[in-house]
Amino acid sequence: MPVTSFDKKLLFRLLGYELDDKALESQTSKMGLSVEEQTKDELVVELPSNRPDLLGTVGFARMLKNFMHRSKKYVYKLSSQEPIMDIIVGAKVKKVRPAISGLVVNDVKFDDASLKDVINFTEKLCDTYGRKRMKISIGMHNLEVIKAPLHYDVYGDEEFVPLNGSKSMKYSTIVAEHDKGLAYGHITRSKTKTGHVALKDEQGTLALIPIINSERTKVTTGTRNLFIDVTGTSDYAVGKTADILASLFLDLGCAVKPVTIVNGEKRSIVPEMESARIEVPVFEAEREIGVAIGYTNVLSLVNKMGYEGVTVGESARVNVPAYRADVLNEQDVIEDIAIAYGYDYIRPLLITATQQGGLERSTLLNKKASHAMAGLGFIEMLNSFLTNEKANFDDMRLQRPDSYVKVKNSVTVSLTMMRTWLIPSLLKNISLSKNDRMPQRIFEVDLAFNLWGDVVSEAYHLAAVETGPKANFNDIKASFNSLNTLLDSDLEIQAADNPSFIEGRCARITLGGKTLGFMGEIHPEVLSKFGIEEPTIALEIDLAGLQA
Amino acid sequence: MHKYEAAVLGVLKDGKSLTLDQLAERSGLKRDALLWAIESLSPQGLIKVTKAETESAELSEEAKGYAKNSLPEQALLDRLGKGTIKIAALKDEREMIGLQWLKRKGYAVIKDGVLELAPAGAKALGAGVPEDRILKELAADPGAFRKVSSGNKNSVEELVKRGLILVKKTSAVESLAITKEGMSAAAAGREEGDVIDALDKSMIARGTWQGRRFKKYDVNVPVEAADAGRLHPLRGLINEIKDIYTDLGFREMSGPIIEPAFWSFDSLFVPQDHPARTVMDTFYLSNPANLSVDKAEMRKVKKAHEKAYHEKWSEAVASQSILRTHGTSVSARYLSQITNELTANKNAYQLPVKLFGISRVFRNENIDFKHLENFYQMDGIIIGHRLTLSNLFDMLIRVYDSLGLKVRFVPAYFPFVEPGVEIQAEKDGKTLELGGAGMIRREIVGAQRRKLTVLAWGCGIERILLLRDKSLAGIPELYNNSVGWARKRPLV
């Protein structure tokens, strides 16, 4: 989940009053956000990934103000409905990055702190909610130098001066060499081999999307009027982002005006600033949370969370502010009501209906097998299920089979497959125990993974290993005999060959003719591979087969 | 004579003097048997034991602190090297100690309330104060006492007087040889008629022990611990947790580790572009690359996702096979099955149904001493009519109470629950995040959404073990076992 730091000075300016550290932290956690750190100047907060509107100080201040009943601003509307300019969407961009929105902001009064905060906010939003600009990217421009209409399309290799650059560069050069090009050039490259997505006005390029803006339209603390573009792959997310930005500038006291997106014949005015209406039956909220709330209280609680609300019949009807991207239905509103009510005040309530508890059959057998092994003097080990071909097959003198469960993308190079049996894991434990007292007896009861055709089998195995100067076949057979009695099973053994074991000192373990495992003396070549110095004996049984 | 004693004398009777190791090897006796025999033979004058003394230094807590940084006089000397110091500026206790020793050693002098370097101090500035150097060497290797102390007798004495080190003398057996008396005892090989060495069956049966003396054991002779068979400490905790849940009337559930992404993510309303699904976080499989999912389940989930997230939902993405990232995938399977059965027959279950699972889960981590690719989670799910958040809190309090932890709840976001809860505990002044919980989203409950409410939680468990056994350094230690490690773990 994203972690963001808020500028406390700016926060208090927006709130209109100051809070001491303790009060700020306590209010923040009451709203359901966890404070990671607080300094004199900063409040670092972990945010839920579904609240892009909170990624900047302005959005956080808005929430805090409502929560503390210091504001009654629930509805966000544009300053005028008259679109300022047209953005004409070309045909070619629809397959590459189809969604675009925009807005115009007048009467901007940036100082260093608010400009920095807004820029941090857009970057954080593009990084998290925008999936590193793949889904959403945002560009802020100085409106006064723009000559409308704007054109949004896929273009050939044109050139312009990129932001903070001094000379004109070709699109292709920016993609190949500029650090932003290297970071974000791949996003459109995967959908158009040679073209470049750009936003242009009558005078040339405003932005190479989603990579970098132009130096010409750069925003500074002196900029009074802004144009902001939002582009991406999802109409919904792009639309919500424009709504969030519009709300943000409205809170900063600016005038926010729409633009027209021209898509062939279709003309739409954005940002939409649509406010969804949801009815929450009060009894339903009470029933889900498990507390009595009442009709009057419920409105105060939804207000606290930033919703406008009225009671209609037995329900609270709320307007979801346009900047909320996460409210899908009444359940989301009920959660907000619960947060406003305070989790600390919800009294725990016992479920009185009873049910007979019980364990899985496999658990019962595993427990029995483990207790038997512990009683025989073996120590239980717990090992990773992931391994590699060398340890699981090669070092055990086994041919690699055609099919077994393979991992595609492990960041740890030694983890490439799921283990097919347990003895190699236990041999590794022994190899880590060279300095420990002999003899050593260990066991494991856990899963082994096999692939029969395209059917995955996850089966519990029991494996045991004993090492020491005097370990021999009869010792493991003695343990096996005892286990057979304790588990009340009818396992049988026959002489067998298995490359992991010494020839003539290995037996197959069967049940009704079906092979369930092996036991014997581990082959010295295997011992050398694992760096084990003493004779070692082992057994492994498929417990699932025992239960079947 | 006891057979161990006879064995020792038997080996020594050729008159050669042996070390303890040689004697152990030739007699074939275990260490504790051998030591017992020596302790018994030596006072009888049958063997002669030559002991060698070794010395080692033990550092006081104060000295350990100094060894990490430096002795107070060294610290002050270093400061003097950069310029004189006003005495009035020296305040804390450590500085005062430093001042006294600098003066006593003649490294510095006070003139007009100012501390200045003396010629000896200037010399020491280059080489370092010898006591400081010795302390550091001893801290690095306490066994090197003899080497370190030779030629530094005065310094060592000073450190001892200052209470910074304690010199310990231990004596160990250097060699063993037989005596004349031993020779004849070995030759006679007699058993003393009036002293019983080992009680045996016939003595008990015939009562021949009566009127005789039992040879005494020295109870202080060191004996190695017996090797115990046992369960792994984490298994012990897992069994304990399973008992807690069954006591609370929960039935155990279990499910596959190798899953289509569908059960770990899509069925739980995690959007297909969620960061947790990237290859950096989740293990994907190349064989089998895909696993099939029931078509009807797919249809339900597709509809819910596309409505909520306004994005195309892909069956191919949901079919990719992965190692489950949380135990909630098991809850999702049970929830789906139970709601389907309830739809077919509303009396299929007596509600509420309470289920729990302990699941090993996987994250694509780079393994080091702090990170591991797998860990355990305990998941719970309660399916019933009119269940509430207050019911959820109550159940979680009961579970954690049984585990010895007092919990509280704060709001949190997880895609599959609404309201969402984080379970926290205070321990040693720190807030522990124990896990997530909430009421399963109606979109996931599906056709039964108007009738059923579903409470769910998923929590890591290894942390609980780390709280109980403070000697554990971290979670990876639990999965990287040596025999010696396992032998030393208490049952917690």
Q: How many residues does chain A have?
A: 548
Chain A positions touching B415 (Cβ under 8 A) are: 50
Task: Extract the tokens encoding B247.
Answer: 């006591």
Structure tokens at A332: 């989301």
Q: CB of A447 within 8 Å of any CB in chain B?
A: yes
Is B235-257+324-488 the same fold as B58-170?
no
Distance CA B387, CA B385 (A): 6
Confidence band (pLDDT; 50, 70, 90) for B83? Answer: confident
User: Of all residues in chain A, what percent are helix, strand and coil, respectively (each to 5)?
Assistant: 35, 30, 40
Q: What does the pLDDT read at residue B193?
A: 61
Identify the closest residue of chain B to A402 by CA–CA distance. Answer: B287
Task: Determine which of A253-262, A495-504, B72-81, B303-312 has the lowest per-residue pLDDT on average.
Answer: B72-81
Residue reference for tokens 């060398």:
A390
What letter does residue B216 receive in the DSSP assignment? Answer: P
Say if residue A413's pLDDT is above 80: yes
Mean pLDDT of chain B: 89
ipTM, two decimals: 0.92
Band of the pLDDT at A205, cuts 50, 70, 90?
A: very high
Distance between CA atoms of residues B237 and B475, nearest Å: 14
Maximal C-alpha separation, chain A: 93
Residue A367 near chain B (CB below 8 Å): yes
> Is a pLDDT exceeding 70 seen at residue B191?
no
Share of chain A above pLDDT 70, in %: 100
Those residues whose C-beta lies under 8 Å from the C-beta of residue B488, and which sit 6 or more positions away, are none
DSSP state of B385: S
Chain B CB within 8 Å of residue A389 CB: no
Compute CA distances A480 → A363, A505, A519, A539, B142, whole Å.
Answer: 21, 14, 9, 8, 48
The predicted model gives A138-143 an average pLDDT of 97
| DSSP label of B128 | -
Q: What is the pLDDT of residue A213?
A: 97
Q: What is the pLDDT of residues A262-277, one digit of tens each?
A: 999 999 999 999 999 9
Distances (CA, A) of B159 to B121, B131, B457: 19, 7, 58
B370 touches chain A (CB under 8 A): no
Output the CA torsion B380→B381→B382→B384 (10° steps): 180
CB atoms inside a 10 Å sphere around CB A120: 17
Out of 1.10.10, 1.10.287, 1.10.8, 3.30.310, which CATH number does the structure's domain B58-170 have? 1.10.10
Q: What is the mean pLDDT of residues B422-431?
A: 89
Q: For position A52, what pLDDT does the model report?
A: 95
A339 to chain B: closest CA residue: B411
pLDDT at A188 over 80: yes
Percent of chain B scoring above 70 in pLDDT: 99
Contacts of B91 (CB under 8 A, 6+ apart): none
In angstroms, rounded to a whole number, what is the distance separating the alpha carbons of residues A123 and A2? 12
Q: How far is A347 from chain B (nearest CA, A)?
A: 6
Residue A233, classed as helix, strand or coil, is: coil
Domains of chain A in sequence order: 3-67 (3.30.56.10), 86-270 (3.50.40.10), 276-345 (3.30.56.10), 361-547 (3.30.930.10)
Q: Number of helices (H) and strands (E), helices first, in chain A?
A: 17, 29
- Which residue carries 């090669």 as its tokens? A394
CA distance B3 to chain A (A): 23
Looking at the predicted structure, is the pLDDT value of residue B37 above 90?
Answer: no
* A35 vs A4: CA distance, rounded Å: 10
Axis-axis angle for helices B389-402, B233-247 (nearest 10):
140
> Amino acid identity of B394?
D
Cis check: omega of the bond before A149, within 30 degrees of 0: yes
Q: What is the pLDDT of residue B414?
A: 92
Residue B394 contacts A, CB cutoff 8 Å: yes
Three-state secondary structure readout of A71-103: CCCCCCCCCCCCCCCEEEECCHHHHCCCEEEEE
For chain B positions 337-356, those within 8 Å of chain A (CB to CB) are 350-354
Cα dihedral: A282, A283, A288, A290 (round 10): 110
**How many angstroms separate the CA of residue A262 from the nearest CA in chain B?**
21
Distance from C-alpha of B359 to C-alpha of B363, rounded to nearest angstrom: 13
**Residue B162: CA count within 13 A, CB half-sphere:** 23
Which pLDDT does position B189 carry in this prediction? Answer: 58
Alpha-helix runs per DSSP H in A322-360: 330-341
CB contact under 8 A, A236 and B311: yes
The C-alpha angle with vertex B186 and arms to B183 and B192, in degrees rounded to 5, equals 120
- B291 neighbourhood in chain A, CB within 8 Å: 456
Q: What is the mean pLDDT of chain A?
A: 95
Q: Is it the case that residue B92 has pLDDT exceeding 80?
A: yes
Q: In Å, what is the CA distance from A196 to each residue of A170, A192, A312?
A: 11, 7, 52
* Cross-strand pairs, A472: none
For residue A499, report the phi and psi dihedrals to the nearest 5 degrees: -60, -20
Q: Rounded mean pLDDT of B46-52?
A: 88
Q: Residue B434 has what pLDDT? A: 95
The verdict on B480 touching A (C-beta cutoff 8 Å) is yes
Closest CB to B478 among A338, A359, A382:
A382
Residues on chain A touching B274 (C-beta within 8 angstroms): 49
What tokens appear for A92 in the block?
């070619």
| Residues near B80 by beta carbon (within 8 Å), at least 6 away in sequence | B102, B108, B115, B116, B117, B121, B125
Specify the pLDDT at position A256: 97
Burial pattern B313-335, b for ≥16 Cβ within 10 A else e, equals bebebbbbbbbbbbbbbbbbbbb
Task: State pLDDT tens for residues A38-54.
Answer: 999 999 999 988 899 99
Q: Please state the rounded mean pLDDT for residues B144-173.
A: 83
Quick count: other Cβ atoms within 10 Å of Cβ B188? 9
Integer Cα distance of B126 and B74 in angstroms: 11
CA distance A318 to A305: 11
Residues in CB range of A155: below 8 A, 6 or more apart:
A171, A195, A196, A197, A198, A200
Q: Measure CB to CB from residue B389 to each of A289, A411, A412 and give the nearest one.
A: A289
Which residue matches tokens 């350990």? B64
With cut-offs at 50, 70 and 90, classify the pLDDT of residue A88: very high
Tell me A385's DSSP state: S
B310 touches A at CB < 8 Å: yes
> Which pLDDT score, from 0 to 100, does residue B429 have?
83
CA distance, residue B82 to nearest chain A CA (Å):
35
Beta-carbon separation of B395 and A410 below 8 A? no
A374-378, B148-152, B199-203: range with highest mean pLDDT: A374-378
User: pLDDT value at position A462?
Assistant: 98
CA atoms within 13 A on the CB side of A107: 10
Judge whether A249 and A293 are in contact, CB under 8 Å: no
What residues of chain A lie within 8 A of the CB of B254, using their CB? 360, 362-363
Integer Cα distance of B91 and A305 in angstroms: 55
Query: Which residues make Cβ contacts (< 8 Å) with residue B425, sequence separation at least 6?
Result: B400, B405, B406, B407, B408, B431, B432, B434
A320-374 pLDDT, tens digit per residue, is 999 999 999 999 999 999 999 999 999 999 999 989 999 999 999 999 999 999 9
What digits encode the pLDDT tens for the residues A442-493? 999 999 999 998 899 999 999 999 999 999 999 999 999 999 999 999 999 9
Question: From residue B209, how far is each of A106, A132, A394, B199, B204 by CA, in Å?
Answer: 110, 88, 62, 8, 7
Q: Answer yes or no: are the C-beta atoms of A355 and B354 closer than 8 Å.
A: yes
Q: Any chain B CB within 8 A of the CB of A3?
A: no
DSSP, collapsed to helix, strand or coil, labels residue A387 as strand
Question: Phi and psi of B430, rounded to 5°?
Answer: -115, 150
Q: What is the share, in percent, of chain A residues with pLDDT greater than 90?
A: 93
Vertex A230 angle, CA A227 and A233, to 5°: 160
The mean pLDDT of A370-384, rounded to a whole number, is 97
Q: Rounded to 5 degrees, what are φ and ψ at A456? A: -85, 135
The pLDDT value given to residue B87: 85
Residues 12-51 on A with a CB inside 8 Å of B are 29, 31-32, 34, 48-51
Which helix (H) or strand (E) element contains residue B323?
strand B321-323
In the structure, what pLDDT confidence band is assigned to residue A32 with cuts at 50, 70 and 90?
confident
What tokens does A431 get? 């190899």
Distance CA B249, CA A353 (A): 10
Chain A, chain B: beta-carbon pairs less than 8 Å apart: 255
CB of A500 closer than 8 Å to CB of A536:
no
Fold topology of B3-52+172-214: Arc Repressor Mutant, subunit A (1.10.10)
**What residues form DSSP beta bridges with B244?**
none
**pLDDT tens digits for range A307-318:** 999 999 999 999
CB-closest option in A287, A375, A386 to B386? A287
Chain B partners within 8 Å of A437 (Cβ): 224, 227, 483-484, 487
CA dist., res. A493 & res. A484, Å (int):
11
> Backbone dihedral region of B429: left (phi > 0), alpha (psi from -120 to 50 degrees) or beta?
left
For B353, which residue in chain A has the nearest alpha carbon? Answer: A355
CATH topology of domain B235-257+324-488: BirA Bifunctional Protein; domain 2 (3.30.930)
> For residue range B247-290, what is the model confidence (pLDDT) as tens digits?
999 999 999 999 999 999 999 999 998 888 988 899 999 999 99
Per-residue pLDDT at A30 exceeds 80 = yes
Reduced to 3 states (helix: H, G, I; strand: E, B; else coil), residue A344 is helix
B390/A351 CB distance under 8 A: no
Ranges assigned E (strand) in B327-479: 353-362, 374-384, 407-411, 417-427, 430-440, 453-460
Q: Which of A113-127, A165-179, A296-310, B75-89 has the lowest mean pLDDT?
A: B75-89
* pLDDT, tens only, B445-456: 987 888 899 999
Of B231, B441, B483, the CB nearest to A331: B441
Using the predicted structure, report yes or no on whether residue A397 has a pLDDT greater than 80.
yes
Sketch the domain layout of chain B as residue ranges: 3-52+172-214, 58-170, 235-257+324-488
Q: How confident is the model at residue A290 (pLDDT cuts 50, 70, 90)?
A: very high
CA distance A191 to chain B (A): 17
